[in-house]
Amino acid sequence: MRQVMINTDRTVVVVEAADPVPPGPGGAVVTVDATSICGSDLHFYDGDLPLIAPLSIGHEFVGTVAAIGAEVRTIKVGDRVMCSCLAGCGQCDGCLAGDPATCASGVEVFGSGVLQGGQATSVAVPGADFQLRALPDSIDDDAALLLTDNLCTGWTGAKRANVPPGGTVVVLGLGAVGMCAVRSAVAQGAGQVLAADPVAGRRAMAAASGATPIEGPTIPAVMDATGGRGAHAVIDAVALDTTLDDAFGAVRAGGTVSVIGVHDLNPYPVPMLTALFRSITLTMNTAAVHQSWKELIPLVESGAIRTDGIVTHRFPLDAAAAAYALAAERRGDCLKVALQP
């Protein structure tokens, strides 16, 4: 097999590795048909997260089941499947509730140092009955890739933002996750979605998804759009100190700040006193993937939530270095890059 690696000097290479086998009687091997670069992968590439050894990268992949262990029951060889970016035990209360981030055994993320990355020609998947979901023909590879992570993250962030019907929500950062949050907030009944990003092309994409773009300093723009009240909720899909400051400043008293971006390892000084006296709810969210699948798959199949236009570029797997370089530019015309093994 071939797999993408990020070296400690941040170079991206494609290397040969041993073909995987099912990891235990409950595991499976998936031949990858499509995989993609997530903003979380770029944190390793950009140096925001440490690398102490070369890393097999990637947690978004769809493909065909090539082999299964003796105890696998819900999928079979030949099934077209998508894989949750998060791996849980599948048996505890958290997993049974569809929220592997709360797995009692500890959640693992594909391509983060323990489990093999999904940017490869094939991947070993533990706990296949829980991690894998067979795909209907009506969901194409681009939509399925979003359902492995980004769309579930945006959906979870919007749900936990507690936006009242017809309320105003601000989305900070309009990469793939932020764009999914925009579409999720619209689908969940927000009356007004204000979308902020320094890149004009991304603001235009958000406008085409039902949002109202805002420009310039975020807090004054939100106050102008809300009659000085602030938004009912702010979804921060970036999680830099500056965007978190904007989130706390743009949310109204009694509102919710819902964080779905990945902060670096440095502490963020939460404005506790201000948040306390304004009764602000802060929620930090890793996607409830399996819970979201139950809600999102019918919406995607019916067209009630759009998945088009987010995957904007495609490269062969062997051109992964060029794909990462493009994704890291964060251009207005590039939201998400897929790799085709």
Structure tokens at 179: 């764009």
pLDDT tens-digit map of 191-250: 999 999 999 999 999 999 999 999 999 999 999 999 999 999 999 999 999 999 999 999
- Cα–Cα dist 82/75, whole Å: 11
Model pLDDT, residue 300: 98
Q: Once rounded to an integer, what is the mean pLDDT over residues 12-35? A: 98
List the Cα angle 102/109/163 in 5-degree steps.
50
> Per-residue b/e over 76-88, b at no fewer than 16 CB within 10 Å?
eeebbbbbbbbbb
Do the domains 154-284 and 2-149+288-340 match in fold?
no
Q: Once rounded to an integer, what is the mean pLDDT over residues 332-339? A: 96
Cβ burial of 66 (10 Å; 0-12, 13-18, 19+) is middle
Residue type, 236: D
Q: What CATH number does the domain located at 2-149+288-340 have?
A: 3.90.180.10
Structure tokens at 299: 């919406």
Among 171, 98, 85, smallest CA distance to 125 is for 85
Q: What are the residue ranges spanned by the domains of the chain?
A: 2-149+288-340, 154-284
- Cα–Cα dist 250/285, whole Å: 19
CA atoms within 13 A on the CB side of 102: 15
Confidence of residue 138 (pLDDT cuts 50, 70, 90): very high
Model pLDDT, residue 144: 98
pTM of the model: 0.97
Model pLDDT, residue 67: 98
* Average pLDDT of the chain to the nearest whole number: 97
Length of the chain: 341
Residue type, 290: H
pLDDT tens-digit map of 239-288: 999 999 999 999 999 999 999 999 999 999 999 999 999 999 999 999 99
Q: What CATH number does the domain located at 154-284 have?
A: 3.40.50.720
Structure tokens at 250: 């743009």
Model pLDDT, residue 70: 98
